Structure 1
């Protein structure tokens, strides 16, 4: 099983979550301010510290939880690469908001436990809900690549991910069971596509006037989906030999020409086709790490002119996702 090439390529939301979670967790551990960041009854209902609904879903209470939690978030970046950041952002917002509301209701039901500092023991802080909501597509969509046996137990390459999730629960299993459960529930509801939520997408902020003005004046690309222009080959106007120039004279061999346009390979309007650069190895590995076959990955990259995001959308459309 492969989650794609290393790093956070095409996974900016996962990168932001991991950096924020690691920074807050280390700061809370070194300064002893965990009780001011975690989701507690006293903090939410008595002091109205609503920021806890945000920080409580990021900060880990212990180093072992942080290590296994961040590893799982990093591994699950494959789903952002597969769905795209716009759809993955909706998944993150929905699962976190849904789970937070249920946790607040749970705290209210328990009357805040022992209140104050002690109430932090009722629900473990950390992105448990988000992590376990991602176990739903991991279980349903990621195929098993290999099987092996250890001490007579038949395991698969997915078993290590499940064991990491179990290890994440062990340090504070009593207080982390409920956040993990509501995370699984949130992932299942999203999977059921209630209200068509799986088709929702976050807006592209680069389309807004002020953002576009700033990015244009800073000379930054507006979107990673903007394809680089390719030189065109005029189909009419003389016959060119594959091994020579237009006059049939000997010359250097022209690079192989591919046709872009519809999926049927027809030439675009105007009788022109575009030079095709071969799909990069890194792009192919990225998409194959999402579970797509090599042939369909190459075809999607060719049609998308090597744009990984566009190719991802094509692959999802072909599979009806």
Structure 2
């Protein structure tokens, strides 16, 4: 699974995603430090008991509690999720993305504290005496809200009658992170609610909880050399991980169809090739769609105007509005095909 998500055809590294790179680096450094025998005493600083920090005003423990996971499986799953979610940093920009993480993590932490106190009032103890689970729940799970609402769903295969996409794998990773204990389930739900609150901009949280420009510039100058990545040679920017996989599969399909057409053209002539293309089975591939589109251009059945919803989805993905409209017209308002057309441009 990791190889599929991190292969050369589906990624462009951490180019324009220094914050995601920094999150992964900080998480690994912290995890390594607390597992080194000489530094195991640092593990105590990751523990955060709500009644204790409120009575002793040790609010700094909340910050350390958010730095890393204690379980290896959570760390590996979170690395894959962060790597997938780096598309949001490229879309928003590092400063706005940092403000998003700051805002959602603050809201999620407040919700967690309130939840622990409410459960304790009803004598329900999911947190082993009020201890918050250590990890990046307030950073990761709010992003699942944007992932669900903003990233197009592209079917890759079907299993037992259910559609399987690249997004399915990401959701399963999120479930794996959240299912460690009842306390982690609460943390994950608080993170999702925080994402909804920040997205709806309730109580003007987007204006209040944001990174100041001065802090952003200082961090860029001080740490930019360590977290900035070089521009990749193969450019697939402006697309999600599952769209890039779909694009690669369609390129293979295109090469295969062209190869078959050339072989039959040489043996049987052009007329037989045209009949061969007309007899191809219908599927979700771009090339077969284009062939069907060409066959029906004459009767005007493919003149479908693009919907405002599909146009906005492509614009939010980083494509120019005029190009998005033209691609949707070519694809007869089919979002998956229009996305593939824009990627090839």
User: TM-score, normalised to structure 2's length?
Assistant: 0.56
Q: How far apart in 2 are the matches of 1:6 and 1:17?
A: 17
Within 5 A, what are the aligned runs for 1:168-179? 168-172=177-181, 174-179=182-187
Which whole-Å deviations, capped at 9, do the CAs of 1:58-91 have from their partners, x for residues lacking one?
Answer: 2212111111112212211110110111211111
Within 5 A, what are the aligned runs for 1:51-130? 51-110=60-119, 118-119=128-129, 122-130=131-139
Correspondence for 2:25: 19
Whether the 8 Å CA contact 1:123–1:178 is kept in 2: the answer is no
- What are the ranges of 5 or more consecutive residues in structure 2 without an aligned counterpart? 242-313, 324-345
Correspondence for 1:10: 16
Identify which of 287, 296, 307 aligns with 2:320: 296
SS in 2 for 1:59: coil
Q: How far apart in 1 are the matches of 2:97 and 2:186?
A: 23
Do the aligned partners of residues 146 and 111 (structure 1) sit closer, same or farther apart at CA in structure 2, a change above 3 Å counting?
Answer: closer
The structure with the largest helix share of the pair is 2
Do the aligned partners of residues 150 and 289 (structure 1) sit closer, same or farther apart at CA in structure 2, a change above 3 Å counting?
Answer: closer
Matched pairs, number: 232
**Is 1:39 equivalent to 2:48 in the alignment?**
yes
Give the Å deviation of 1:150: 2.3
Correspondence for 1:131: 140
Identify which of 285, 291, 314 aligns with 2:236: 285
Do the aligned partners of residues 135 and 51 (structure 1) sit closer, same or farther apart at CA in structure 2, a change above 3 Å counting?
Answer: same
Q: How far apart in 2 are the matches of 1:82 and 1:294?
A: 7
Do the aligned partners of residues 197 and 29 (structure 1) sit closer, same or farther apart at CA in structure 2, a change above 3 Å counting?
Answer: same
Which whole-Å deviations, capped at 9, do the CAs of 1:191-249 have from their partners, x for residues lacking one?
Answer: 113355557864433898xx6xxx7xx9x99xx9xxxxxxxxxxxxxxxxxxxxxxxxx
Which range is displaced more, 191-200 or 159-168? 191-200
Give the Å deviation of 1:188: 0.6
Which range is displaced more, 179-188 or 194-203? 194-203
Q: How far apart in 2 are the matches of 1:184 and 1:74?
A: 19
Within 5 A, what are the aligned runs for 1:173-252? 174-194=182-202, 202-205=211-214
Query: For the aligned residues, what is the CA RMSD?
Result: 4.0
Q: How far apart in 2 are the matches of 1:181 and 1:206?
A: 30
